[in-house]
């Protein structure tokens, strides 16, 4: 078993019992989409706020594995190594 820590941004903590960090146990190294699905199963309010119904990452939501933006490292197929922190981060945007 290995642990993955997710950093949850403020606006989404309403759906993680106010936790800024959520730890998940997974059996083996896996891709980002698979671990996100485990996260969404535990905290269902996150799913539709991070991904569109078509399954792609929302345009202005970035996901970092350690310090790397997954848009440049394989997107949802990025392999998540053991012990790493995954951060969901709203992009700079607005109007």
Partner 1 sequence: MIGQTLDHYRILAKIGEGGMGVVYRAHDQMLNRDVALKLLAKGTLERVGRDHLLREAQTASSLSHPNICTIHQVGQTSENFYVVMELIEGQALGDLLTATGLSMSTVTRYGVQIADALAHAHDRGIVHRDLKGQNVMITAEGRVKVLDFGLATRMDRDEISELTLSYSSLESKLVGTLPYMAPEVLRGHTADHLSDLWALGVLLYEAAAGRRPFRGNTGFEVTSAILLEPPAPLPPAVPPGLAAVIQRCLAKERIERYQRASEVRVALESLQGAAVRSQHPGEEARGPRTLVLRGMEHLTVKHRDVLLLVGTNKGAFLLRSSCDRARWDVAGPYFHGQTVYAMAYDGRSGLHRLWVSTNSALWGTFLRSSDDFGRIWTNPLEANLKFPSDSGASLKNIWQICVGRATEPGTLYCGVEPAALFESRDGGESWSLARGLFDHPHRPRWMPGNGGLCLHTIVPDPSRKERMYVAISAAGVYRTEDSGNTWQARNDGVRVMFMPEKFPEFGQCVHKIVLHKSRPERLFLQNHWGLYRSDNRGDSWQDIARGVPSDFGFAMLMHPHDPDCVYILPVESDEFRCTPEGRLRVYRTRNAGGSWEPLDRGLPQKGAYETVLRDAIATDALDPAGIYFGTRSGKLYGSKDEGRNWKKIVDGLPQIVCVRAVVIDIDGSHAAGPRSKTKASAKRKTSQTKRRANRR
CB of 70 to partner 1, least distance (A): 16
Nearer to partner 1, 11 or 28 (CB): 11
CB of 60 to partner 1, least distance (A): 5
Extended strands (E) in 1-95: 2-7, 21-26, 30-31, 61-65, 68-69, 79-80, 85-90
CA 88 to chain centre: 5
Q: Which residues contact 78 (CB under 8 A, 6 or more apart)?
A: 31, 32, 65, 70
Q: CA-to-CA distance for 9 and 21, rounded, in angstroms?
A: 9
CB of 64 to partner 1, least distance (A): 15
CB of 16 to partner 1, least distance (A): 9
Nearer to partner 1, 58 or 71 (CB): 58
- Judged by the rule CB under 8 A, the positions of this chain that interact with partner 1 are 11-15, 17-18, 44-45, 47-49, 52-56, 58, 60-61, 90-91, 93-95
């Amino acid at each position: 078993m290995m642990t993955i820590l997710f950093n949850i941004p403020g606006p989404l903590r309403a759906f993680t019992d106010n936790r800024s960090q959520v730890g998940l146990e997974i059996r083996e190294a896996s891709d980002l989409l698979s671990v996100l699905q485990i996260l969404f199963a535990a905290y269902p309010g996150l799913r539709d706020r991070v991904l569109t119904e078509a399954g792609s990452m929302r345009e202005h939501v970035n996901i970092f594995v350690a310090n790397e933006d997954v848009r440049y490292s394989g997107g949802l197929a990025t392999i998540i190594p053991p012990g790493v922190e995954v951060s969901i981060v709203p992009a700079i945007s607005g109007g």
